[in-house]
């Protein structure tokens, strides 16, 4: 490792010396075009060296990174890249923030030439997406003028000193008359409703006629909680075209949001002007009445449970789910729920046919593997917070059972008045393990 460090340090010093000499030989009209040289190691995806295009206003300064993307496991350990541009339109102010352990540069705004060098000293080569450096530019030309941002890759080697096959994508620097405000479109959230363990995905399209990338894109929930959004997976940075729109997303669970309806909106900026988009509708985190399961659900036996349910949150219900003991077909065969006003609902099990209650259930898309754990009610109904409901549940096979007469859960309480097992034995401390919800 020490020998490697000394060797690389020597290479770095040699490269710096070459850089100084090379600058003296650059013609005043230097405008080298990018080369995509390469002998070498195969990549699962094409390694790309690129700098993006930018539109900016007179006298403004902007930062653009020179990036190497899709670097394979062999890694990149050495990089020498020349950047050429029209110094009458744009100058380089600084080169900074490299991913490499050691980075140096030479800026010559007289001829429009900047050399950027990066090395790994002791660490292994960098993989994935690698930042050669951030280049800070200053617009010095007139409105309407354009300069190429051309890259010439002199060296791009892996740990073994083998050249990495690559392609180059150049950019342009344009001085525009004015800056157009960014636009946010197609803001959505999916699904529209769910539970604590549901993942809600928020998406929005960011568009900018000047092709300016966003300085930020935020998701704001209930006008109070702010979250950074990320580019949707698959949107390669070198391929992003902000004039056509780029999708951003952020994911939140129901437990992060909390029970209830939630408004959302999106905010973004191109660094100068902002944009806002309100969500078309709110999404809802529903409460379910979930007893969970005990560590030890045994002994288990089928029978009829009778007792009360007292929700502390309003519960929307379309099904009853029963937790089976592992390796069994534990389920509920019949359920009835009622209250003191005479209101009541009931439903029966459809059997081990892995489809929902009757043809109506099938049409509603309730069929699916393992659906025998559910009983579906013909119509949705609501259990209201603060009210007490009676239940009678007939179970079959070997469902999980709580061995207690009362259980406090997140969204209420359930009690046992009586459990009569299939052999006729009566208990006062047996509770079903169920979920009531949509």
Written as tens digits, the pLDDT of the chain (438 aa) is: 433 433 344 444 434 443 333 333 333 333 333 333 333 334 457 999 999 999 888 888 999 999 999 999 889 999 999 999 999 999 999 999 999 999 999 999 999 999 999 999 888 999 999 999 999 999 999 988 999 999 999 999 998 999 999 999 999 999 987 788 999 999 999 999 888 778 999 999 999 998 889 999 999 999 999 999 999 987 677 778 999 999 999 999 988 998 888 999 999 999 888 999 998 778 888 888 999 999 999 999 999 999 999 999 889 898 999 999 999 999 999 999 999 999 999 999 988 864 434 333 333 333 334 578 999 999 999 999 999 999 999 999 999 999 999 999 988 999 999 999 999 999 999 999 999 987
CA angle 125, 128, 132 (to 5 degrees): 70
Whether the CB-CB separation of 308 and 397 falls below 8 Å is answered with no
Residue 45 lies in a domain: yes
Same domain, 159 and 200: no
Upstream peptide bond of 299 is cis (omega within 30 degrees of 0): yes
Same domain, 302 and 265: no
Residue 183 lies in a domain: no
3-state secondary structure of 86: coil
Residue with tokens 């109070």, as numbered in its chain: 224
* Residue 123 to residue 351: CA distance in whole angstroms: 62
Q: How many CB atoms lie within 10 A of CB 349?
A: 22
Same domain, 320 and 411: yes
Domain of residue 141, residue span: 2-15+28-175
Residue 20 lies in a domain: no
* Residue 103 to residue 76: CA distance in whole angstroms: 14
Residue 182 lies in a domain: no
* Residue 118 to residue 103: CA distance in whole angstroms: 4
Same domain, 311 and 169: no
Tell me, what CATH number does 203's domain have?
2.60.40
* Residue 137 to residue 86: CA distance in whole angstroms: 12
| Number of structural domains found in the chain | 3
Query: Burial, 374: exposed, middle or buried (Cβ in 10 Å; 0-12, 13-18, 19+)?
Result: buried
Tokens of 331: 């389920």
């Amino acid at each position: 490792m020490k020998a490697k460090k000394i060797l690389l340090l020597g290479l770095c010093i040699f490269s710096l010396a070459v850089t100084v000499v090379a600058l003296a030989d650059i013609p005043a009209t230097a405008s080298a075009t990018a080369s995509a040289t390469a002998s070498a190691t195969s990549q699962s995806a094409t390694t790309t060296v690129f700098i993006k295009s930018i539109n900016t206003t007179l006298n403004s300064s902007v930062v653009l990174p020179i990036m190497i993307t899709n670097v394979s496991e062999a890694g990149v350990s050495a990089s020498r890249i020349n950047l050429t541009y029209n110094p009458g339109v744009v100058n380089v102010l600084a080169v900074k923030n490299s991913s490499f352990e050691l980075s140096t540069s030479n800026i010559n705004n007289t001829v429009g030439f900047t050399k950027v060098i990066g090395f790994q000293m002791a660490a292994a080569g960098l993989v994935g997406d690698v930042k050669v450096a951030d280049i800070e530019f200053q617009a010095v030309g007139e409105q309407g003028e354009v300069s190429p941002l051309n890259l010439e890759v002199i060296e791009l080697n892996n740990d073994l000193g083998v050249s990495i096959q690559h392609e180059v994508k150049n950019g342009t620097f344009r001085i525009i008359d004015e800056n157009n405000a960014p636009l946010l479109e197609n803001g959505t959230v999916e699904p529209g409703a769910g539970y604590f363990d549901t993942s809600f995905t928020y998406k929005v399209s960011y568009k900018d006629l000047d092709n300016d990338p966003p300085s930020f894109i935020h998701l704001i929930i209930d006008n109070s909680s702010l979250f950074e959004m990320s580019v949707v997976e698959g949107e390669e940075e070198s391929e992003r075209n902000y004039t056509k729109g780029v999708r951003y997303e952020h994911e939140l669970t129901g437990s992060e949001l909390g029970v209830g309806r939630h408004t959302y909106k999106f905010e973004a900026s191109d660094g100068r002007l902002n944009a806002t988009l309100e969500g078309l509708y709110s999404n809802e985190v529903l409460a379910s009445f979930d007893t969970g399961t005990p560590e030890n659900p045994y002994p288990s036996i089928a029978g009829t449970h009778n007792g009360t349910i007292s929700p502390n949150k309003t519960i929307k219900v379309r099904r009853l789910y029963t937790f089976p003991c592992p390796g069994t077909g534990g389920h509920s065969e019949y359920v009835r729920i009622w209250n003191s006003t005479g209101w009541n609902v009931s439903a029966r099990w459809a059997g081990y046919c892995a489809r929902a209650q009757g043809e109506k259930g099938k049409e509603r898309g309730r069929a699916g593997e393992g659906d025998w754990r559910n009983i579906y009610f013909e119509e949705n109904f609501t259990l209201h917070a603060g009210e007490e409901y009676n239940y009678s549940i007939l179970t079959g096979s070997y469902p999980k059972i709580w061995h207690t007469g009362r259980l406090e859960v997140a969204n209420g309480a359930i009690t046992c008045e009586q459990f009569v097992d299939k052999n006729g034995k009566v208990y006062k401390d047996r509770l079903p393990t169920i979920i009531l919800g949509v």
